[in-house]
Homo-oligomer: A and B are copies of this chain.
């Protein structure tokens, strides 16, 4: 089966009627519509997307740009695949397909995005891994293509985004640690310019301040967001002359490497050092002692992300009224045993 012309010939009616029947337009005889649908099904006809897109000016495809930078590849821990499920559950209601657009390592994300936008492969975009300063916001705003960011940025220009509640996490972690008697609390931060690192560290500083603890820059350890990075964080902490009694780790996987390194030195998390992880991950469940961390539903995050995006697209906006365009996504504390001791009572 080639195109709509062949299908129309086969049915001995005009292509216009075939098109209307297939697209569920009114003013088509029910009998005719049935014949058309049956023939299309039988001959496996589906409209060529290029033809449709050209005519309608819309592709019915939404793009999710991911960086797959080496750092992310190591740690994203299928973050995106889970979010994707949530996105699709919304998009499928509108017959929108989701494609993931992986920006190659060796290509500049800005140039890559520019190309994707210009080619008009997608109707709307979701960008992720937002940087502190991220020119992609300006680009997308300028081209007027609907988009939403997974992650905030100084460059957001009042555009839509949704972001994890890093501030809430770090506040909760600091409160908890201070309540257990800790004053020297270290924190890990990503080595890249990804904005969440700044948000995380800023929240940490404010939380310390709130408790009247003086911030010591030496306690902010930059490392890759992977097991290896966690190992390195532990290594650096162990070398500090005035060693912290607690640490807050960003990214779930770091805990694995961190545990390993401190244990090599005979230091037990939850007894000799307090550890609070970030997002709950399957891996974390298998750490001993169990890691105190934060839970959230990435599927639901995807749903929200999709709805915010659609609320900004004229064709769908009325179905998603009153969406807040900038949302902080909450996480819930899951107390483990990795920070369950009172400072001073440790032997």
Which residues on A are within 8 Å of B, measured CB to CB?
44-51, 53-54, 59, 61, 63, 66, 68, 72-74, 76-78, 81-82, 84-85, 88-89, 92, 97-102, 104-107, 114-116, 118-121, 226-228, 231, 253, 256-257, 259-260, 263, 282-283, 285-286, 288
A259 — which chain B residues lie within 8 A by C-beta? Answer: 286
| A29: min CB distance to chain B, Å | 25
Say yes or no: B120 contacts A49, CB within 8 Å.
Answer: yes
A50 — which chain B residues lie within 8 A by C-beta? Answer: 49-51, 53-54, 59, 120
Q: Known: A48-B119, A227-B283, A256-B283. Is A81-B98 also a contact (CB below 8 A)?
A: no
Set B105, B115, B283: member contacting A85, Cβ < 8 A: B105
Say yes or no: B82 contacts A118, CB within 8 Å.
Answer: no
A115 — which chain B residues lie within 8 A by C-beta? Answer: 46, 97
Q: Give the complex CA separation of A44 and B139 in angstroms.
A: 11
| A95: min CB distance to chain B, Å | 10
Q: Give the complex CA separation of A282 and B226 in angstroms.
A: 8
Say yes or no: B74 contacts A282, CB within 8 Å.
Answer: yes
Q: Give the complex CA separation of A98 and B49 in angstroms.
A: 17
Q: Give the complex CA separation of A283 and B231 in angstroms.
A: 11
Q: Give the complex CA separation of A16 and B301 in angstroms.
A: 47
